[in-house]
Amino acid sequence: MITLHGFSSSNYYNIVKHVLLYKDIPFVEDTQYGGTDEYLALSPAGKIPSLTTEGGINLSESSVCCDFLEETYPEKPLYPADSTARAQVRQIMRISELYLELPCRRLIPFVFSKKAVPPALEKEVRSVVSRGVGALNRVGKFDPYLAGDKLTMADIYLRYVMSVVSLAKGCIDWDIAAEIQGLKEWQTLMADSDISKKVDADREANRDEFFAIIRARMGG
């Protein structure tokens, strides 16, 4: 059986978990917070999540894990059959990661430390995220899903990217979601599934343990 390594407060972990649940692939969860030499055997760059296949091979990088699951378990496809449409789905995923998730991730230390975000960093984050907002407004169909009338990998990807993007609201006073046309309605649609509810409940259940680990790593 597949093992998913990581923790339920991780947005990247939840992307892969959502895909496993959507495709009804049996899996077990192995709680790992990384930061140890042992974990590097599962994930060479030490990143969460990683996945051990039924054949015992360890894989990391969420989009790689998602593509592996799609190719190995093609039932309930999450990419369109047409290669151009498939590339468009991947384009949305890449835009979401590069121009929304990664810049907003830089705010996380300030969320935990409650320190003010340095103006130069805020400027940089705003500049990159503005690019992402513009891009999503151009390519996101929200009809009702991101790439049209079918749920795709891009929907699952962006749902959990937005959990990091939403940190900007409290941190640099910017409601990024409000600037993406149709996004809030889509978020409501995406939240209204048993899978999303399970992933969200597991994230809540992990919150205290995750915060305790972060506090310990930040030196109390």
Ligand X SMILES: N[C@@H](CCC(=O)N[C@@H](CS)C(=O)NCC(=O)O)C(=O)O
Q: Are 12 and 63 in contact (CB under 8 A)?
A: no
Query: Which CB atom, from 46 or from 144, has the smaller least distance to ligand X?
Result: 46
Tell me the closest approach of the beta carbon of residue 180 to ligand X, in angstroms.
21
What tokens does 160 get?
């959990």
Q: How far, in Å, CA of 63 to CA of 71, rounded?
A: 12
Tell me the closest approach of the beta carbon of residue 123 to ligand X, in angstroms.
23
Which residues form the interface with ligand X (CB under 6 A)? 10-12, 34, 46-48, 61-63
Query: Which CB atom, from 62 or from 96, has the smaller least distance to ligand X?
Result: 62
- Strand duo 50-52 + 27-31: pairing: unpaired
Query: Which CB atom, from 104 or from 176, has the smaller least distance to ligand X?
Result: 104
Tell me the closest approach of the beta carbon of residue 168 to ligand X, in angstroms.
16
Tell me the closest approach of the beta carbon of residue 149 to ligand X, in angstroms.
27
Radius of gyration over every alpha carbon of the chain, rounded to an integer in angstroms: 17
Query: Which CB atom, from 187 or from 206, has the smaller least distance to ligand X?
Result: 206
Give the torsion through C-alpha atoms of 44, 106, 166, 123, to 10 deg. -150
